[in-house]
A and B are shown apart, each in its own frame.
Chain A
C-alpha cells in the first residue's frame, strides 16, 4: 500500500527570534484538498509560518515538510498568493501570471514560448481575467489584481497553495470572488490550502480547519471547535465572547490582541 503523504506536515515545530518564541510544539498535517485557515493577532507568527514553509527561514527546532519535501527555496509545487499591494512598475497582468510560471528560470526561455502562452492563457481564463489581463496592472482594481495573483499562483499547477492575507483591502464582492477561485482549485485539483487571514468570515464556509495562534499558544480544529468563547478565552487568557450573527462569527473582548477589521497595520511590516 502506498504510504499516505500529507501536503504539509509540521512535527514539534518551534519558531523564535532570539529569546522570543513565536510558537512551539506545533504539530499540523494538512491533507491534499484541505482548506486550513491560520488566524491570530498581529505578531503571532502567521506570516512567519508561511515563510518557514516557503524555505525563507528555518525552524528553531522540529521538522517541516511541504509537498513531500523539506522546505527549500523555490519549491515548484507550492503556489503563493500575497496580499494585495500597489504595483507601480509598468507591467501587464498576463506578464505577472507568466512570471509565476517561469520567472524563476535562468536563460531566455525562447524554446518554450508557445507552451508558455497556452498555460498563461489557461490560467487567466480559469480566474476569468481575460478582459483585463492585457491592461497595465497599475490601472486595475484590487479585486482584479488579486484574481491575477491567483492565476499567477495556479499557473505552475501547485500541490499546495500558501495564501498570505489575499483578501485584505478587497470589498465584499471581490473577497467572495477570490476565495471562491481558491476553493474551486482545491476541490478540482486536490490542492491543499493554507490561508493566513485576520478575518475568518469571508472564508468561513470554505474552511475545514483553523489554526489559531495567540502569544505562542495555539489551537487546531474545526471552526465550530475553535471559534468558541471557551477556546478563545483560553487562548487569549482573558474573557472572550464569540458571537454568531447571521452565519458570521464575531469575536468580542480582545481589542488589544485581536485585529479584526484593522487593516492598516500590515502595511507597516517590512516588505
Chain B
C-alpha cells in the first residue's frame, strides 16, 4: 500500500520514454472512448461493445499465432466483429441474442488459437487484461492514426448519427441513412475498442467505453455536455488509473475500472439527489384550450 503513494518512484517512472508513450496511448483512448461513449449509451450498444472487445481478443490471438503484429490482429478482429454484429442485428429485439451467439463462438476460437501458441503465458494474459507499458512507438503511430481517423469521420457524420441514435423513426423519415450509419458507427466502435484492448484489455474495455458515458448521462441530458463530461471522465480514468498503477506495478485495468466506477457512483448519487428535488418541478401543467 505504501508503494501506491510513492511519488518519488512514480516521478522517476513517469520520466521513462516508454511510460510516456503509454500515457499518450491512454490519452488517445480516453478521448475516443469519451466521444463515442454517449452515442453507444444512446444506442443501447454496451453489450455490442463488450462483444466487439472480446472478439478483438480473438483477432489478437490469431495474429499472435500467425506471427504478425498483435495490435493489427486485434484491430482487424474488432472491425470484423463490429461489422458482423452491425449487419446481423438490425432489429433491436434480437440484438442481444445475436451478439451472445457470435461472441461465445468467437471467444472459443480465440481460446483455441492461444492454446496453439507456443509462447509465454504472460503475453497471452496481456491480451485479456491489458499491457499498456508494452506499447511501442509503432503502436503509438497506429493508435494516433486510428484515433484521428475516427474523430474526423465522427465530426462529419455526428449530427445524422445522433439523430438516428436517439430518434431513428423520424431520422428515417427525414432521409437520414439510418442503416448505413449504424454500420459506419459499428466500424468506429470496432476501431476504438481494438485500441482499448491494447491498454486495458478485452475484458475491461467497457470501463472506458461505457462507464464514463453512462455516468455523464446520469447528470446531463444535453448531448454536447454529456460528450464533454464523458471525455473528462474517460481521461481521468485512463490517465489516472495508469499513473496510479505505476509505483506499485499493479495491473492498470484494476485502477482504470476503479476510478471510472467511482465516478459513476458519484454521478448516480447526484442524479438521485437531484431527482428527489426536481421531480415536482419537471411536471408541467398542460393548459386546456377553450372549447
Q: Is the CB of A104 within 8 A of B286?
A: no
Q: B240: CB under 8 A from chain A?
A: no
Q: A106: CB under 8 A from chain B?
A: yes
B41 neighbours in A (Cβ, 8 Å) = 89-90
Q: Is the CB of B286 within 8 A of A177?
A: yes
B176 neighbours in A (Cβ, 8 Å) = 74, 103-104
Provide the bound-state CA to CA distance between A18 and B286, in Å.
46
Q: B171: CB under 8 A from chain A?
A: yes
Q: B223: CB under 8 A from chain A?
A: yes
Given A74-B175, A82-B173, A106-B157: A91 touches B166 (CB 8 Å cut-off)? yes
Name the distance in Å between B19's Cβ and chain A's nearest Cβ. Answer: 35
- Please encode chain A, from 106 to 137, with 1 for each CB lying within 8 Å of some chain B CB and 0 for all others: 11110000000000000000001001100111
* CB within 8 Å: A-B pair count: 117
Q: Which of A103, A177, A180 is in CB contact (< 8 Å) with B160? A: A103
The size bracket of the interface on A is: 35 or more
Given A103-B176, A132-B284: A96 touches B158 (CB 8 Å cut-off)? no
B168 neighbours in A (Cβ, 8 Å) = 271
Q: B101: CB under 8 A from chain A?
A: no
Q: Which of B38, B155, B157 is in CB contact (< 8 Å) with A90? A: B38
The size bracket of the interface on B is: 35 or more
A107 neighbours in B (Cβ, 8 Å) = 155-156, 159
A104 neighbours in B (Cβ, 8 Å) = 159-160, 163, 171, 174-176
Given A103-B176, A271-B92: A176 touches B162 (CB 8 Å cut-off)? no
Q: B42: CB under 8 A from chain A?
A: yes
Q: Which of B155, B158, B169 is in CB contact (< 8 Å) with A271? A: B169
Q: Is the CB of B170 within 8 A of A91?
A: no
Q: A199: CB under 8 A from chain B?
A: no
Provide the bound-state CA to CA distance between A270 and B93, in Å.
10
Stretch at the interface among A139-147, A232-240, A248-256: A139-147
Provide the bound-state CA to CA distance between A177 and B174, in Å.
24
B155 neighbours in A (Cβ, 8 Å) = 107-108
B120 neighbours in A (Cβ, 8 Å) = none
- Nearest residue, chain A, Cβ from B283: A141
Q: A63: CB under 8 A from chain B?
A: no
B92 neighbours in A (Cβ, 8 Å) = 271
A106 neighbours in B (Cβ, 8 Å) = 156-157, 159-160
Q: A48: CB under 8 A from chain B?
A: no
- Please encode chain A, from 62 to 74, with 1 for each CB lying within 8 Å of some chain B CB and 0 for all others: 0000000000111
B167 neighbours in A (Cβ, 8 Å) = 87, 89, 91, 96, 99, 103
Q: Is the CB of B162 within 8 A of A99?
A: yes
A139 neighbours in B (Cβ, 8 Å) = 282
Q: A223: CB under 8 A from chain B?
A: no
Q: A24: CB under 8 A from chain B?
A: no
Q: Which of A152, A174, A270 is in CB contact (< 8 Å) with B286? A: A174
Name the distance in Å between B165's Cβ and chain A's nearest Cβ. Answer: 7
Q: Which of A96, A109, A132 is in CB contact (< 8 Å) with B282? A: A132
23 contacting pairs across A/B (C-beta < 8 A) = A54-B173, A72-B175, A74-B175, A80-B170, A80-B173, A89-B167, A91-B223, A92-B221, A99-B159, A99-B163, A99-B166, A99-B171, A103-B176, A104-B176, A107-B156, A107-B159, A108-B155, A132-B282, A140-B282, A143-B286, A144-B284, A162-B173, A177-B287
Which A residues are closer than 8 A to B by beta carbons? 54-56, 72-75, 80, 82, 85, 87, 89-92, 95-96, 99-100, 102-109, 128, 131-132, 135-141, 143-144, 149, 152, 162, 173-174, 176-177, 180, 270-271
